[in-house]
A and B are shown apart, each in its own frame.
Chain A
């Protein structure tokens, strides 16, 4: 039985796909057989972030429609063992993902995988609801900014009322992941602090990913940022994966880095 994790946010552009790619990669690095599914029908992007865009032959909707089987469709990652990607379809048909179809594919994947990471599209429409419906756990990706926090709260409301677990009277585990965090701007009072976001959303903090050029660089290269273990963002994602397994890891990169005497001397 696989554990189904949805990466969701409501708002677009906050880092859902980046997070899905890195968390999925991190789970696989720890030896757990993991598949990341792109639920963003019509706007496929996980393939680019994972660097396998030229290896896409079939997609999620093909599998649902029985036009291909999982073995033909899953793309095996070339860097990390145990890691697979199921790309989204580029169809413009909004109803391509049916609940029965998604359930059938998830059930089949469940037999073989330890983790299924569902990369949700933005918004609260059908695609996003489909991505979160079967979730055991939700990673709510939030930027420290008012509209993102508000949208995250709406998504939490949907998780608590419209997910399969909610319908069965159970609860989806909810985890907060704050991304694009910039301690300088928090100190200037221009950005909400992680404490503020945590207090308003009132869910457990899984991690804080600092804003970093490394994320853009990783996207450009098609390599999940968690594999860049020199970068703060990569380290923060590794920490977050560790916390998923109950490891007690202190949150890093929350404070402004104090410039040392030497750096100040050099004017850096």
Chain B
């Protein structure tokens, strides 16, 4: 139980600190732009940065309400 909880939080925090600092701010700004048009919660926008050897892929996942 303790081990599983730890593994999840540690993985989450590692992922966060491996991303550049601007990601969080960018996520806020993207959220603000989308909110001009539709009502969405913070959790409905996911920003993820994947670093491969040669390029970085910025993945933006927006769940729009039905």
- On chain A, the number of residues with a Cβ less than 8 Å from chain B's Cβ atoms is 10
Task: Give min CB distance, B7 to chain A, whole Å.
Answer: 6
- Any B CB within 8 A of the CB of A63: no
Contact at B10–A200, with CB atoms within 8 Å?
A: yes
Chain A contact residues: over half helix, strand or loop, or mixed?
A: helix
Range for the number of chain B residues in contact with chain A: 10 to 19
Name which residue of chain A comes closest to B16, CB basis.
A157
Name which residue of chain B comes closest to A149, CB basis.
B6
- Any B CB within 8 A of the CB of A67: no
- Any B CB within 8 A of the CB of A77: no
Contact at A161–B17, with CB atoms within 8 Å?
A: yes
Contact at B10–A157, with CB atoms within 8 Å?
A: no
Alpha-carbon separation in the docked complex, A161 to B16 (Å): 13
Task: Give min CB distance, A192 to chain B, whole Å.
Answer: 6
Contact at A157–B3, with CB atoms within 8 Å?
A: no
Name which residue of chain A comes closest to B7, CB basis.
A200
Chain A residues, Cβ within 8 Å of B39: none
Chain A residues, Cβ within 8 Å of B10: 149-150, 153, 200
B6 in complex: contacting residue of A146, A154, A157, CB < 8 Å? A146
Alpha-carbon separation in the docked complex, A200 to B12 (Å): 12
Q: Give residues 116-163 of A contacting B (CB, 8 Å).
A: 146, 149-150, 153-154, 157, 161
- What is the interface of chain A, defined by CB distance below 8 A to chain B? 146, 149-150, 153-154, 157, 161, 192, 196, 200
18 CB < 8 A contacts A-B: A146-B2, A146-B5, A146-B6, A149-B6, A150-B6, A150-B9, A150-B13, A153-B13, A157-B13, A157-B14, A157-B17, A161-B17, A192-B3, A192-B6, A196-B3, A200-B3, A200-B6, A200-B7
